[in-house]
């Protein structure tokens, strides 16, 4: 079946620190992979995506590479800002009906 | 475009009461979804719909019913609320797979429901 395992939080960093949030997946077939971000009191927003192996998704300084050999899609940012404080969800989309399977979410807090 | 909207934003119910959560989207999306978000659990799919007049069960459908009478609306009903249904509920929508834009699901802002 499909599942996503995400690094447990919370993660607390100082501004300009390097961020990695680990995500690994189990899937049948060839899933698409996503990172969603949820700011306080809001719904989820798509941060970046990758639809096939070796694709790199990027947005707002965040990057993640679809690694089929390690079934991973780790989120990275070279220099975090206070405004990046949010909950980050890794997700995969299976082939059937496009439903998303989410990880448990990682709370990121960035201090000035 | 308003995107995906949800009403109400907050609600407190007593055990056994009923209510309906409304999701509306103005992007002409075919597919719509209801998720619940619980601490440490991520989002779990309750029900979904692939078009007007169609609905199907997701991962955790028990205690919920849905209806999709109009393409732009997807209603989630709780007939007899239980404390275990205390959660944040998110609606989402997207295009079907034959559209190039279908990769992204658009989420509403959520409804925070507490059942006492």
Taken in order A96, A70, A106, A14, the sign of the CA dihedral is negative
Mean pLDDT of chain A: 92
- Determine the Cα–Cα distance for residues A77 and A79; give it in Å rounded to an integer: 6
Q: Residues in chain A with pLDDT < 50?
A: none
Instruction: Determine the distance in angstroms separating the CA of B28 from the nearest CA of chain A, rounded to an integer.
Output: 17
Instruction: Determine the distance in angstroms separating the CA of A36 from the nearest CA of chain B, rounded to an integer.
Output: 10
Give the one of B40, B96, B103 whose C-beta lies nearest to A104's C-beta.
Answer: B40
B24-35 per-position pLDDT tens digit: 999 999 999 999
- Determine the Cα–Cα distance for residues B99 and B36; give it in Å rounded to an integer: 27
Helix (H, G, I), strand (E, B) or coil at A96: coil
**What are A6's two structure tokens?**
């995400």
Q: Are A89 and B105 in contact (CB < 8 Å)?
A: no
Does residue B95 carry a pLDDT above 90? no
Contacts of B100 (CB under 8 A, 6+ apart): none
A83-99 per-position pLDDT tens digit: 999 999 999 987 656 78
Q: Are A49 and B104 in contact (CB < 8 Å)?
A: yes
Count of CB pairs separated by less than 8 Å, A with B: 52
Contacts of B88 (CB under 8 A, 6+ apart): B36, B37, B38, B110, B111, B112, B113
Does residue B1 carry a pLDDT above 90? no
Residue whose pair of structure tokens reads 């205690």 in the numeric block: B63
Q: Are A43 and B107 in contact (CB < 8 Å)?
A: yes
Mutation for A interface: B3, B21, B42, most A CBs within 10 A: B42
């Amino acid at each position: 079946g499909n599942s996503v395992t995400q690094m447990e939080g919370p993660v607390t960093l100082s501004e300009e620190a390097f961020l990695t949030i680990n995500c690994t997946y189990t899937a049948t077939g060839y899933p698409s992979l996503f990172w969603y971000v949820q700011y306080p009191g809001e719904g989820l927003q798509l941060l970046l995506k990758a639809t096939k192996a070796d694709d790199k998704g990027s947005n707002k300084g965040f990057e993640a590479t679809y690694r089929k050999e390690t079934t991973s899609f780790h989120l990275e940012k070279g220099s975090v800002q206070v405004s990046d404080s949010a909950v980050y969800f890794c997700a995969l989309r299976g082939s059937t009906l496009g439903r998303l399977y989410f990880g448990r979410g990682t709370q990121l807090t960035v201090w000035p | 475009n308003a995107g995906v909207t949800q009403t109400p934003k907050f609600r407190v119910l007593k055990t056994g009461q009923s209510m309906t959560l409304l999701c509306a989207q103005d992007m002409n999306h075919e597919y719509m979804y209801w998720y619940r978000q619980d601490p440490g659990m991520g989002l779990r799919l309750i029900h979904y719909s692939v078009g007007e007049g169609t609905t199907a069960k997701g991962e955790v459908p028990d205690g919920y019913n849905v209806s999709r009478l109009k393409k732009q609306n997807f209603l989630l009903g709780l007939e007899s609320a239980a404390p275990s249904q205390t959660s944040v509920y998110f609606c989402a929508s997207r295009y079907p797979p034959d559209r190039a834009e279908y990769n992204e699901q658009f989420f509403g802002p959520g409804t925070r429901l507490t059942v006492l």
